[in-house]
Every structure is written in structure tokens, then in C-alpha cells.
Copies of this chain bind each other. A is one copy, B any other.
Amino acid sequence: MRIMGIDPGTGTTGYGLVEKQGNRLIHLDNGAIFTRSDEELPRRLQTIHASLAQVIADYAPQAVAVEQIFVARNALSALKLGHARGVALLAAVQAGLPVFEYTALQVKSAVVGYGRAEKGQVQQMVRLLLALPEIAQEDAADALAVAICHAHSHNLTDRLRQAAVAGGRRS
């Protein structure tokens, strides 16, 4: 199971790819797409969309995970974030990939085991879980975090399904 996490933003969009093999979680790649602040918004969105489409084509993930947003500092920052998030979701669905959304609480709980963990703790745990010496870019680390969250949730869903099937067999 190959999972791509995306942390979209008009300035910087982080992405991370992990492969789940049984109970092992293997790091494949992570990186960030930067757009120039002196470029017009439509052009920046095109860069984000085209770059994500390229990463998807290169790694052929089977699922995309993104953080679900409930709050934003203000309406204007929410609007900007929405633009980037919109083209990121589009790149995923155009590649025929299912998109899974997780709240910040779910991501923190899955990665650190504590829903109110600090951002720094999450990033350190991402490094440890994937045995990476360092993660160059903060948004890439956040993207890996949501990918790990999906790997764990998916794992849980699998186990619940297996339990249900086993229960079905028993009855």
C-alpha cells in the first residue's frame, strides 16, 4: 500500500510518500513545491497542480491523505489555502486516487499518540518512525505525518474488517 500525504499551501506545498508493507512503514520520498510570491495566483496554482501530478505519476500511490481543515486564522488565509487545496485534491482525483481526510487531532494521535502534541514533536516522531536522519522541509514533514496517519487508520480498518470476517466465520 503506497500512500501520498499532501500539505497544500499557495507558497509551499509539502508532499511525502510512504509504503506500508505489513506492519512496516517505509519512507519513499518527501519534498516541497515552492511557488514564487511575485507570480500571479493562477500561475502558482498551475505550478502546484502540475508538480503534484508529476509526483503522482512518478510514484503511483494508491491513496492520497490530506489534513482536514476546520479553522483558519481568518477568512482571507482560508481562501488562499482553499485555492491550493483545491488544485491538490484535483490532481489526486484526476489520477483516479481516493482522497482521505484527517483532522489535526487524528494526525497527532496517530503519529505521537497524543492529540495535543506540539508541531515539533510530530515532526520528530515522523523522523523516528521513518528512520530518517532529517526532513529538510517542515511542510514535507507534515505531509509525511498525514500519510502515516492514513497508514495507521487503514491498518485499523483492515484489522476491524478481519475481526468482523473472523467473527462472521465463528458464528
| Residue-wise interface mask of A (65-80) relative to B, using a CB-CB cutoff of 8 A (1 in contact, 0 not) | 0000111111111111
Is A168 interfacial (CB 8 A cutoff)?
no
Interface residue ranges of A102-150 to B (CB < 8 Å)? none
Tell me whether B79 and A76 are in contact (CB under 8 A): no
Is A152 interfacial (CB 8 A cutoff)?
no
| Residue-wise interface mask of A (42-62) relative to B, using a CB-CB cutoff of 8 A (1 in contact, 0 not) | 110110010000000000000
Report the nearest B residue to A66, measured CB to CB. B42
How near does chain B come to A10, taking the closest CB pair, in angstroms? 9
Is A82 interfacial (CB 8 A cutoff)?
yes
Bound state CA distance, A89 and B69, in angstroms?
Answer: 21
* Residue from B40, B43, B80, B90 in contact with A42 in the complex, judged by beta carbons closer than 8 Å: B90
Report the nearest B residue to A83, measured CB to CB. B86
Residues of A within 8 A of B (CB): 40-43, 45-46, 49, 69-87, 89-90, 92-94, 99
